[in-house]
Amino acid sequence: MIKILVVEDEIAAARRLSKMITEAVGDAEIMDVMDSVQSTIKWLSEHSQPDLMFMDVHLADGNCFEIFRKVEINCPVIFITAYDTYAIRAFEVNAIAYLMKPVKAVDLENALRKYEKLKPASSSFDYQKLLETIHAENDTYQKRLLLKIGQTIRAIELSEVAYFFTHDKIVTIVTPENRKYPADYTLDQLEKMLDPKLFFRINRQFIVSSKAIREMYVISKSRVKINLHPPAEMETAVSSERVANFKKWLTEESR
């Protein structure tokens, strides 16, 4: 019997993950489902540690790494993240395994196989090293971009960028003063270069800074429209699959 704790603040995602785990592991027991940093700290302080934890990186009241700073965790953890740029290199080097949202059955099975393979050594896993690596990775995000404008080269501080958008395969940088510059990168490339604490990709066409957001409107059950400053030339709505993480991002960015 493998005793498992799930840490996930989205109810539907937690139910789906628990179902996938029990289907993949015949003798799995889901001990409990926690939905926040504080509730997980409390649970771990009052119970024996499980054999394995599945832990979402971004929780309602902060990121999961706060848990490791408050409680000594001796069991292996499989991390789950919706951010393909968030600490991925740290996970690849220092974590038992990690999963990208939405979790796919084949990825879950691969993570469980890795857990079984590493289980003999997993009790001595060094989470402090993981935290240090994540901190180091966060310091490696791009601070500025070099742009070629005609025959001149200009350095743009990313802290001064309002948003990026793409149209007809051309990516444009927009500053708070509504100056526009062409970027020699795709949005996919920029997403990996930018600090996810400062920028969020709301849909396929826009990456925005929280400082550029002026107003937000609920336009359907699963969509949010935002007004940017300076105003954008196209509709700026958060795609439905990104809304939950967009709200988390706004909360964490303001902390």
Tell how far CA 217 is from the center of its chain.
Answer: 23
Residue 202: helix, strand or coil by DSSP? coil
**What's the half-sphere exposure (Cβ side, CA atoms, 13 Å) at 239?**
10
Task: For the domain covering 144-253, report its CATH number.
Answer: 2.40.50.1020
Tens-binned pLDDT, residue by residue, of the chain (255 aa): 899 999 998 899 999 999 999 999 989 999 999 999 899 999 999 999 999 999 998 787 777 888 988 898 888 889 888 755 555 655 665 567 888 888 999 999 999 998 888 776 555 566 776 666 665 555 556 788 878 777 777 888 888 899 999 999 899 999 999 999 999 888 988 887 788 888 999 999 999 999 999 999 998 877 899 999 999 989 899 988 888 889 888 886 544
The residue extents of the domains of the chain are 2-138, 144-253
Q: Which residues lie below 8 Å from residue 11, measured CB to CB, with a gap of 6+? A: 35
Question: What is the number of other CB atoms lying within 10 angstroms of the CB of residue 58?
Answer: 22
| Residue 52, both tokens | 């394995």
DSSP states along 59-112: ETTEETHHHHHHS---S-EEEEES-TTSSHHHHHHHSSEEEESSPPHHHHHHHH
| Residue 27, both tokens | 């003798």
How many whole angstroms separate alpha carbon 192 and alpha carbon 93?
A: 17
Helical (H) or strand (E) element with 168: none
Task: For the domain covering 2-138, report its CATH number.
Answer: 3.40.50.2300
- Give the dihedral of Cα atoms 22, 27, 33, 38; nearest 10 deg: -140
